[in-house]
């Protein structure tokens, strides 16, 4: 499919309300902010729009993530994956990463990005970062970073968006489930065991998203096309982190 034709068709579907947050359960007014007027940072208006909507979800969730935040996040991430597949995004990302690795080596793709660059990218899309570090608590081994790069080179970026969306949907289901706090008479409390497993899986998904984001954000310094993907991966991961901090650390 011609990428430009696909883009025009997709823009039409998005602006008429596909999964647009302002027309759903999370709006700019609910997030406590106003519409941001930053110039598009990635050069693709559809991807820039989707990332700004993820920023709205993130900012609203900072006051306490709710079911509707995760459902909205899942919708935006799935739309991002759908759009990128429609315009051949996986092939483009793989080609850019291969070119980057051939020119500068794998380690450059794994370690070249900086926290300051990430913060600037996210702020440009309207993310509020005063109370959160985009890579909080991540201590990744070289092997884990390298494995994430291999995943990107093999499958592209859209499967990661799909996995993040599935995790957001799962969180929505789980936090909607009543959490009982009964006194355990035995050595094990099934409810506490359930939440321990939930929290471990939640942090694992957050960490994996950030590991995938690392080479994407490194390449974004040289290829503006992947800037929105860099921000979307981080933004989605940070909403998962908010859930982890509130549900599992408090």
Domain that holds residue 125: 3-178+188-248
Predicted structure pTM score: 0.78
Residue 137 lies in a domain: yes
Residue 183 lies in a domain: no
Residue 230 lies in a domain: yes
Residue 207 lies in a domain: yes
Going by the DSSP 8-state scheme, the letter that residue 19 receives in this structure is S
Q: What is the pLDDT of residue 197?
A: 84
How many residues make up the chain in this entry?
A: 250
Averaged pLDDT score across all residues of the chain? 78
Residue 69 lies in a domain: yes
Degrees, nearest 5: CA angle 5-154-100: 80
Residue 33 lies in a domain: yes
CA distances (Å), 81 to each of 27, 140, 210, in order?
22, 26, 17
Total domains in the fold of the chain: 1
Arithmetic mean of pLDDT, 6-17: 41
pLDDT at 36 over 50: no
pLDDT tens-digit readout, 82-96? 999 999 999 999 999
């Amino acid at each position: 499919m011609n990428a430009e034709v696909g883009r025009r068709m997709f823009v039409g579907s998005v602006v008429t309300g596909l999964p647009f947050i302002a027309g759903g359960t999370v709006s700019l007014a609910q997030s406590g902010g106003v519409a941001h007027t930053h110039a598009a940072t990635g050069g693709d208006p559809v991807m820039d729009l989707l990332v700004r909507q993820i920023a709205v979800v993130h900012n609203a969730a900072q006051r306490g993530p709710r079911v509707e935040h995760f459902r909205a996040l899942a919708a935006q991430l799935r739309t991002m994956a759908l759009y990128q597949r429609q315009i051949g995004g996986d092939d483009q990302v793989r080609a850019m990463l291969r070119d980057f690795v051939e020119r500068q080596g794998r380690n450059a793709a794994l370690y070249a990005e900086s926290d300051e660059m990430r913060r600037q990218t996210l702020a440009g899309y309207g993310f509020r970062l005063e109370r959160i570090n985009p890579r909080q608590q991540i201590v990744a081994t070289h092997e884990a970073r390298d494995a994430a790069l291999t995943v990107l080179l093999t499958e592209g970026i859209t499967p990661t968006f799909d996995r993040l969306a599935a995790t957001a949907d799962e969180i929505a289901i789980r936090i909607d489930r009543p959490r009982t706090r009964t006194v355990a008479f035995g050595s094990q409390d099934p409810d506490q065991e359930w939440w321990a497993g939930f929290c471990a899986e939640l942090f694992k998904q957050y960490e994996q998203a950030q590991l995938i984001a690392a080479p994407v954000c490194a390449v974004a310094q040289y290829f503006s096309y992947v800037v929105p993907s860099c921000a979307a991966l981080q933004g989605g991961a940070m909403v998962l982190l908010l859930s982890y901090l509130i549900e599992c650390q408090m």
